[in-house]
Amino acid sequence: MRFLAVVVLFILVGCRPLENTGQAATGTEGGVRVSLELVGPPAVGPAEVRVYLLGGDNKAVTDATVTVTGTMTHAGMEPIIAQAVPAEGGLYRTEDFAFDMAGDWLLEADVTLPDGGEVTDEQAVTVPGG
Amino acid sequence: MNRLHRPAWPRQPRGPDLLRLPGLRRFFRWRYARLVFQLPLLLLAVFVVVDGLTGDQLAPRNLATTTLWLHYRGLVVIALALLGNAFCAACPLLLTRGLSRRLERLLPRKLSWPKLLKNKYLVITLLLLFFLSYEVFDLWASPWLTAWLVIGYFAGVLVVDTLFPAGTFCRYVCPLGNFNFAFATASPTQIAAVDPDVCSGCRDKPCLHGRESYPEPSQAQGQAAFIPLSSIQNANGQGFFPGCETDLMVPTVVSNMDCTLCMNCVRACPYDNVALTVRAPGLEWTRAPWAKRGGFAAMLLGILLTFWGLLNAVAMTGPYYRGAEWLATVLGTRNEALLLILIFAAVTLSGLALTTAMSLLADRLGGVNNSAKSTPKAALMRWGYVLLPLGFGFWAAHYLFHFLTGALSIVPVTQHFFEFWGSAVDPNWRLSRLVPTRWLFPIGAGFVSVYSLLAVWVAFRIALRDFGKRGVLALWPPLLFILAFAAFSLLVLAQPMEMRGTIFGPTF
């Protein structure tokens, strides 16, 4: 009986829907919209990632902290983590981000807003081999 | 002791006995020695299932995918290369035994495993399905599926162990265990008799059938032969001591195939006459150990694992993706499962064809001209052992690449597990590599080179053993095969790796 209970528990826990970890829509938090963009076609080597932040009133958010993380799908791969620096009009861009391997990547922008709120956006990218 | 006619035991290695190291024999004679290794892995399995089902579903941030597809596989090949089949020895799946014994009582009797399946063909089929599923469902990228794989594995052991005699799952079903069995043939240790003459005088063969030992015969429960406590050398407690569940009798062991290193034999032997002997790695490949036990199915398992190992690694390189795109265009399909089945079929058949051609040619050059003796099966049973070092060397190089690339990631992933459950931990995602990236290719190439040289030694010994002076001629086809395989292996390792979940696009 106890075994049956354990099995049922596993099924109940296990059959919940998978989290959507990719292809996310533009993230929002308290009216702030964030969108992430890879500049140019993905390729092994340096890449520029742009993050746009717009407030609910369509005004640029300029004092946020933006971290861009690139993670591969395979366990054990060290993520690429870079700070995006503010440019003009709510635009933040990375300066030292580089794909070090071809394959499937998940790009994430983690944004901490001036008021401490957090927004994220993510995008799946396939970096083709040479 | 009831002295019997001395059987002609096969030749076993006579290297140093590791159990003579201080405290080891006493420890492994202890009834609960195996549990000491199984419990940590059981705990890990619980973490794997919980995080796999409920945690962050990004593979590099989940314990399920990280520990199974990175650490388990890396540590398996390290253990096989340096010691032996340590992971079967510590297998937590067998801790379902208590439950299966209770369920057994609901059955009128144990079933016997069908004779048709008393070989490695089912294992080969399951391995093929596993490798295909690995690619089709991107198991390595899915914590959720990985957790279910673990749960399914536990359920499978429970069902098979409940319905059939103990050891059936390990020997005839378990894909992971049989991978370990096949490549434990590369290991530098082996179970052997300390003194075969002692085994000659042993009537009840407790290493095989188990024993019951109590002070009085009336206490025996009839599970195995009764041997009074007073007759046990270095007594290790009373009760039932099971024998080998995969039917290996210590003085007849000539191969690590089917040996789980459970040490049941060490505990059951009333004469404390079992050794874990150091031997030359792969020594058994030169002695045709599967001619009497295992047979052609075991050989087929070893050969196919070698080629599937190549495919498993090639499938992470650019040329593979370009080839798959070309195939998809030619066939006019984007069905990935169909393409993978075709690719696996092509690699399997061409691998077998190449190995058979090499073996037949070597036989012919060695002087086997009689068509009755020169069958593909006979040739493969002679020369197939040459592929095992090649296969192990390449699997080891591949798995070590991943392990060395990300071994330290276990720290932030564990931190993330607790962070996910509400602990105030800030994972340090910078922890990942165990060695600098520039070392990875030399290490992989080193493994491939060392095991290729071992393959040359195996081929040389087989040629001399079976063909004498003509062995010089017979040696050429295996040598060319080894050279080609090693060159291709190095070429694959030198490719920039692409970690793509599917041929056609991202897996997210």
Q: Where are the domains of chain B?
A: 18-32+191-286, 290-508
**What pLDDT is recorded for position A115?**
86
Strands A65-72 and A80-86: antiparallel
Residue A6 confidence (pLDDT): 54
Token look-up 């694959």 returns B492
**DSSP-H helix ranges across chain A:** 2-14
- Assess whether pLDDT exceeds 80 at residue A5: no
Q: What percentage of chain A exceeds 90 in pLDDT? A: 49
At residue A128, the pLDDT reads 85
**Confidence (pLDDT) at B504:** 60
Measured between beta carbons, the chain A residues lying within 8 angstroms of B498 are 101-103, 128-129
What amino acid occupies position B504?
A: F
Residue A2 has pLDDT above 70, yes or no: no
* Dist CA B107 CA B111 (whole Å): 9
Name the residue of chain A whose CA is nearest to B504's CA.
A126
Question: Cα angle at B3 between B1 and B7, to 5 degrees?
Answer: 130
User: Which residues from chain B sit within 8 angstroms of residue A77, using beta carbons?
Assistant: 60, 405-406, 409, 432, 499
Residue A71 CB-half CA count within 13 A? 27
β-partners of residue A118 are: A112
Where helices occur in A47-92 by DSSP H, the ranges are none
CA distances from A44 to A9, A48, B401 (A): 44, 12, 20
* pLDDT at A57 (0 to 100): 83
Give, in degrees to the nearest 5, the angle at Cα B394 between B392 and B399. 95
| Environment class of B7 (CB within 10 Å of its CB; exposed 0-12, middle 13-18, buried 19+) | exposed
What is the value of ipTM here, to two decimals? 0.77
Q: Do B409 and A76 touch (CB under 8 A)?
A: yes
Using an 8 Å CB-CB cutoff, list chain A residues near B318: 102, 128-130
Q: How far apart are CA A15 and CA A21, in angstroms?
A: 17
Q: Structural domains in chain A?
A: 23-127 (2.60.40.1930)
| Facing residue for A75 by CB, picked from B54, B70, B144 | B70
Q: What is the DSSP string of B53-99?
A: HHS--SGGG-HHHHIIIIIIHHHHHHHHHHT--HHHHT-GGGGGHHH
What are the φ and ψ backbone dihedral angles of B294, each rounded to 5 degrees?
A: 105, -55
Give the strand pairing for B498-499 and A102-112.
Answer: parallel
CA angle B500-B412-A68, nearest 5°? 60
**Which chain B residues touch A78 with a CB distance below 8 Å?**
405-406, 409, 429-430, 432-433
| CB-based contacts of B271, cutoff 8 Å, min separation 6 | B198, B202, B233
pLDDT of residue B144: 96
In contact, B497 and B316? CB cutoff 8 Å:
yes
**Which residues of A make CB contacts under 8 Å with B?**
3, 10, 13-14, 16, 18-19, 21-23, 44, 69, 71-79, 81, 101-106, 124-126, 128-130
Written as tens digits, the pLDDT of chain B (508 aa) is 444 556 789 999 999 999 999 999 999 999 999 999 999 999 999 999 999 999 999 999 999 999 999 999 999 999 999 999 999 999 999 999 889 888 988 888 889 999 999 999 999 999 999 999 999 998 999 999 999 999 999 999 999 999 999 999 999 999 999 999 999 999 999 999 999 999 999 999 999 999 999 999 898 898 899 999 999 999 999 999 999 999 999 999 999 999 999 999 999 999 999 999 999 998 999 999 999 899 999 999 999 999 999 999 999 898 998 999 999 999 999 999 999 999 999 999 999 999 999 999 999 999 887 666 779 999 999 999 999 999 999 999 999 999 999 999 999 999 999 998 889 899 999 899 999 989 999 999 999 999 999 999 999 999 999 999 999 999 999 999 999 999 999 999 999 888 776 666 544 4
For CA atoms B101, B105, B109, B115, the dihedral sign is negative
**Model pLDDT, residue B128:** 97
Using the beta-carbon criterion (under 8 Å), do A104 and B500 form an inter-chain contact? yes
| Cα dist from B410 to A6, B158, B420, whole Å | 28, 29, 15
Closest residue of chain B to A6, computed from CA coordinates: B151
Q: Which residue has the tokens 């050429």?
A: B476
Q: Is A25 a residue whose pLDDT tops 50?
A: no
